Amino acid sequence: MKPEIHPEYRKVVFMDMNSGFKFLSGSTKSSNETVEWEDGETYPVLKVEVTSDTHTFYTGRQKFADKGGRAERFMQKYKMSNING
């Protein structure tokens, strides 16, 4: 590797904003916020929206924002209960 062209790789704490779940990993990204980790060291904190703690693939729980398909929503919007009659 050429010197001085690569970003600094460091340990950081990723924190899930939805659940508060935290884990220590490596990243080239940095942050002004820090947190003291379980090992007594202080690391930068990177806040993320989704981690394995809240992602539906890993949790097995899925949230449905809306029920029904496009046709049902259209019918409901225009109160069409029977197209043919």
**For position 41, what pLDDT does the model report?**
95
> Pairing between strand 10-16 and 42-48?
parallel
**pTM exceeds 0.85, yes or no:** no
**For position 82, what pLDDT does the model report?**
59
Supply 53's token pair: 């703690």
Decide: 16 and 22 in contact? Cβ < 8 Å. Answer: yes
Buried-exposed string 1-34: b where 16+ CB fall within 10 A, e elsewhere: eeeeeeeeeeebbbbbeeeeebeeeebeeeeeee
pLDDT tens digits, 26-68:
999 989 999 999 999 999 999 988 887 877 666 666 655 555 6
**Average pLDDT, integer, range 7-23:** 91
